[in-house]
Structure 1
Amino acid sequence: MRVRPLRTPEDAAACIEFWHEVYRDLPCWVPLDRHHYEDMLSGRSPAAANAQVQTFLADDGHRILASVTAVREEAYVQHRNEQTGHLLFFEALDGQGDAVDQLLDTACGWLESRGCDAARLSLLPGWQLPPTIDAYDVVPTLFHTYNPAYYHAYIKNARFRTEHGCVEYRVIFTPELSNRYREMVKRASDAGVRLRTWDLDHLEDENVLFTTLFNETFRSHWGFMPLSSAVMSELTVGFRDVLVRDFLIFAEVDGRPVGFVYSVPDLNQAFHRMGEKPVDENVAEFQRYVGEIDHGVLLIIGVDQGYRGRGINLGMAARSYLAMVERGYRSASYTVVMDDNWPSRRTAEKLGARVTRNFNIYRRELK
């Protein structure tokens, strides 16, 4: 068994194929966009503009057994003033504990050699959301990963500890909740808050505003780092064909933008039904599945610190959820929420949502 660095496009393609091998028989897995992840693994994506990136593969000379990508992200280091590196896209076959130990030791050594004194596994804004620790029998919602249950023992055996938890909420829409949402929207309006939908005809400009508000409102959020417009555009311009105008909300007070909601259809419902068929070769089928989506994902909500406590968050989320109801959606997620982010958790509860999935973020000290 050996651990080797990923060097070539062929290595990246082989790594993606290995991921498919890990998951192919797991019915709730959603196949990945191969080209997107090949760029991520190789450090060619917009997210890697200020990062040192190295993917490592553990193999036995015949096949890949495990993989992980080590990232030293300078934007994170500078913003947080901490020498934390990140380990992302960890995947492994079952029964390969020794290979995983060597793989993660090698990746941690790479981070330490670049000045990192700790490694965080599984979460980095713009890169990856953390692994699930439950709900293995449910297809994950958009942007979330899926993973085998045995990963957590692998990670703990490699001397990582649980650093933080986070949750995903889910709400089942009812007429009573719709009435509650209308009241939330009215209260925000009566308080002088203008809720407007995004202008999809000028999406590049809206993306700049989205990026600015995101970076301002999440400045002190745990695990946060500023993201560039190029990275955020993957959520906006990159999703232009599937965005729903009325799901996307900006809040303004006296003409000043003070908050936003980024919500989208749960495209994983469509991707899961596609299986491993390429979307670009089966566009009509994919569009049909998109038209049958009945679940929305409220991924990000933010309010400028000076305007919190005025119900702006509830007004924006309620406006977005009402648009989903009007579109015939049956339910929606409210995600990702850190365990100790009680303002956001209370918002989810007031919207009628309940926790349905949990995730863990791991840490290993290097010095």
Structure 2
Amino acid sequence: MTVKAVETPGDREAFIRVPWALYRDDPAWVPPLLMERRDHLNPKKNPFFQKAEARFWLALRDGRPVGRISAQVNRAHLDRHNDATGHFGMLEAEDDAETFRALLQAAEDWLRGRGLTRIAGPFSLSINEESGLLVEGFHYPPSLMMGHARPYYAARLEELGYAKIKDLICYHYDARNDLPPAVAHVMRKAMTSQDLVIRPLDMKNYAQDLRVIRDIFNDAWSENWGFIPMSEADLQHMAKELKPIVRPQSIAIAELGGEPVAMAIGLPNVNEAIADLNGRLLPFGWAKLLWRLKVRTTKTARVPLMGVRKAYHSSLLGAALAISVIERIRESQKALGVESGELSWILEDNLPMRRMIEQFGGEAYKTYRIYARGLGS
């Protein structure tokens, strides 16, 4: 078994395709779109690389790919947290201790050589993309922009001295259920006693509304663990990625006295629509995907982003704002035929948000874990 740095286009293609061999008998796994994965790793197309350096490796057994890993020096993270921490991600490997050890060793050595003293992950490639290793909920398919894993991954990492630093919780919700009476009362009270308006995305001012969302996100999440602010380049990338699948009612913006104070984004679960395409859009995948997203619509959805400005945190009005934007998303999803969805992810120690989601009817059903260890000398 050897570990090889990804150097050529052929190496990169082999790197992307590693999961196909590892998950071929896992009914919960959803093959990602190959085109999207290529773009994700392309420095010319993913703004992550404007503020980060990354390296990729393949594990080969008798010349056959059996694992992969990435290592990242994320300058945006280091500038904000100043913790001398590098990241690993894109981790996939056969159930073999030697394979995991060799892959993590390659990532650790590379980060140590750049003066970093700690490694954390998985982040594929940043905390604002796919984060965490699945440790609970293996029999559920991953939602849009969420990862999947085999149950043995966590044990293999822990054998190498990696320890949990944070869990990320995913909640399942039934879009067909109305709000519980007590929660609905809090929302109605806020709506009637405040100059509050909940509006959809304005497609005529698409770019401006996404800047509003970025501004709320950067304020609302600024004190969260691991937070990295969304840049203008990130915003432009998000705008391009969302436009084919977003509808005006996919986004809810709460305005108080004319000022945007909260937002939520609800997206069709594209993974449901691509599950049987085996990663390919040609020759007929494009037509199937467009029909499933635009005509039939998916039965599942994901709410990947919600935020309330810091000024309203820890207040009844703040809770009402959060409920209001999430409920508006649920109502619009229900009208489109969505039956259920995922609210994700929520930090394990964000108890006010977790309690609110549970009062809303959400049920914790998946856990993703962030691991870390010191690099030493």
Question: TM-score normalised by the shorter chain: which range applies?
Answer: over 0.9
Match of 2:134 in 1: 132
What amino acid is the match of 2:144?
Answer: L
| 2-structure distance, mates of 1:175, 1:270 | 23
Match of 2:86 in 1: 85
Count of equivalent residues: 366
Task: Please state how far the C-alpha of 1:296 moved relative to its aligned partner.
Answer: 2.0
Which residues of 2 match residues 327-342 of structure 1 at below 5 A? 327-342=336-351
Match of 1:99 in 2: 99
| 1-structure distance, mates of 2:322, 2:134 | 26
| Stretch moving more, 336-345 or 212-221 | 212-221
Q: 1:279 to 1:129 in 2, by over 3 A?
A: farther
Which residues of 2 match residues 102-117 of structure 1 at below 5 A? 102-117=102-117
Task: Please state how far the C-alpha of 1:77 moved relative to its aligned partner.
Answer: 0.5
| 2-structure distance, mates of 1:9, 1:35 | 14
Match of 1:356 in 2: 365
User: Would you say the 8 A contact 1:65–1:93 is kept in 2?
Assistant: yes
User: Would you say the 8 A contact 1:76–1:226 is kept in 2?
Assistant: no
| 2-structure distance, mates of 1:223, 1:257 | 25
2:329 is aligned, of 320, 333, 338, to 320
2:298 is aligned, of 276, 293, 298, to 293
User: Would you say the 8 A contact 1:43–1:54 is kept in 2?
Assistant: no
| 2-structure distance, mates of 1:71, 1:249 | 34
| 2-structure distance, mates of 1:274, 1:57 | 25
| 2-structure distance, mates of 1:100, 1:357 | 24
Match of 1:236 in 2: 239
1:254 is aligned, of 252, 257, 261, to 257
CA deviations 1:97-124 (Å, max 9, x no partner) are 2122011012111111112111112133
| 2-structure distance, mates of 1:260, 1:2 | 48
User: Would you say the 8 A contact 2:16–2:34 is kept in 1?
Assistant: yes
Q: 1:344 to 1:100 in 2, by over 3 A?
A: same
Q: Over aligned residue pairs, what C-alpha RMSD do you find?
A: 2.1
Unaligned 5+ residue runs, structure 2?
none
| 1-structure distance, mates of 2:180, 2:236 | 31
User: Would you say the 8 A contact 1:171–1:352 is kept in 2?
Assistant: yes
What amino acid is the match of 2:55?
Answer: Q
| Stretch moving more, 2-11 or 163-172 | 2-11
Structure 2 residue 149 is the aligned partner of structure 1 residue 147: yes
| 2-structure distance, mates of 1:316, 1:215 | 17
2:210 is aligned, of 179, 188, 207, to 207
Question: What secondary structure does 2:306 align onto?
Answer: strand
Percent of pairs identical after alignment? 22
Q: TM-score, normalised by structure 1?
A: 0.93
Task: Please state how far the C-alpha of 1:346 moved relative to its aligned partner.
Answer: 1.7
Task: Please state how far the C-alpha of 1:212 moved relative to its aligned partner.
Answer: 2.0
Task: Please state how far the C-alpha of 1:85 moved relative to its aligned partner.
Answer: 0.8
Q: TM-score, normalised by structure 2?
A: 0.90
| 1-structure distance, mates of 2:177, 2:228 | 39
| 1-structure distance, mates of 2:250, 2:283 | 25
Structure 2 residue 87 is the aligned partner of structure 1 residue 56: no
User: Would you say the 8 A contact 1:321–1:332 is kept in 2?
Assistant: no
| 1-structure distance, mates of 2:336, 2:188 | 20
